[in-house]
Amino acid sequence: MYQLIIFDWDGTLMDSAAKISNCIRAAARDVGLAVPSTHDAQQIIGLGLLEAMQRLFPEASPEQLEALITAYKYHFVTGDVTEQRLFDGVLEGLRYIADSGALLAVATGKSRAGLTRALETTGLGSHFTYTRCADETRSKPHPQMLEEILNFTAVDPNKALMIGDTTFDMEMAAHADIDGLAVSYGVHGASDLGATSALDVVSSFHDVSSWLSSGRLQKVFT
């Protein structure tokens, strides 16, 4: 049974893949690099911004990477108006987990500023005991983000569960020796997620709630 449920943000709680990929593609155009396809741009969602840009633009110089990051931040905050929304069932599901007495946390590739904006916009900030972002620790799939959440909450790793939509999330969970639950409605497909150590792959947030409600949640510190 789980006392701590750790969520990825983009692609797991929030439907933001279109906005992120649009901003990556716009940044590439601004810097004069080859514009990646929408699919390719979405495949690196979940990594820290620098790590994502390095993987997507391996030919880019350090100066170009810096320019890409600056342009991406501009488009994400100001230039791009693509809608973002919570996936169906997220608000009700988080309330259900909180009411069970389990703790909630976030481990995300977003920056701290980006997550703060998202939490303020959605009103979800009060639901989470602790959050960690890629610009204040190691990027996924390194386990440091999860290790810091476990240290803060004092929850045993075998009582924690990572939920995410990418293979990076599941690899991070495996590296931290905690269980992982994959969701296939984000950016990585069910076949790729099924090849990881994830306990299961579910196709909606309603399915996440159903999976957790099957006797898998436990009040913390009982």
pLDDT for residue 221 is more than 90: no
Q: What is the mean pLDDT of the chain?
A: 97
Strand 130-133 to 85-86 pairing: unpaired
Q: Do the beta carbons of residue 181 and residue 8 sit within 8 Å? A: no
Q: How far apart are CA 143 and CA 48, in angstroms?
A: 13
Summarised one tens digit per residue, pLDDT across range 171-206 is: 999 999 999 999 999 999 999 999 999 999 999 999
DSSP-derived letter for residue 196 is S
Q: What is the mean pLDDT of residues 107-130?
A: 96
Q: Do the beta carbons of residue 192 and residue 39 sit within 8 Å? A: no
CATH number (1.20.920, 1.10.3470, 3.40.720, 1.10.150) of 17-79 reads: 1.10.150
Map out the domains of the chain as residue ranges: 4-15+87-213, 17-79
Beta-carbon contacts of residue 183 (< 8 Å; ≥ 6 apart): 11, 12, 163, 164, 165, 193, 201, 202, 203, 204, 205, 207, 208
What's the pTM value of the predicted model, to 2 decimals? 0.95
Confidence of residue 222 (pLDDT cuts 50, 70, 90): low
Q: Which residues pair with 10 in a beta bridge?
A: 14
Q: What is the mean pLDDT of residues 62-68?
A: 97
Task: Find, among 213, 195, 191, the residue nearest to 203 by Cα.
Answer: 191
Summarised one tens digit per residue, pLDDT across range 37-52 is: 999 999 999 999 999 9
Q: How far apart are CA 150 and CA 2, in angstroms?
A: 13
- Domain 4-15+87-213 annotated CATH 3.40.50.1000: yes
Summarised one tens digit per residue, pLDDT across range 93-106 is: 999 999 999 999 99
The separation between CA 107 and the C-alpha centre of its own chain, rounded to angstroms, equals 6
Q: Do the beta carbons of residue 62 and residue 160 sit within 8 Å? A: no
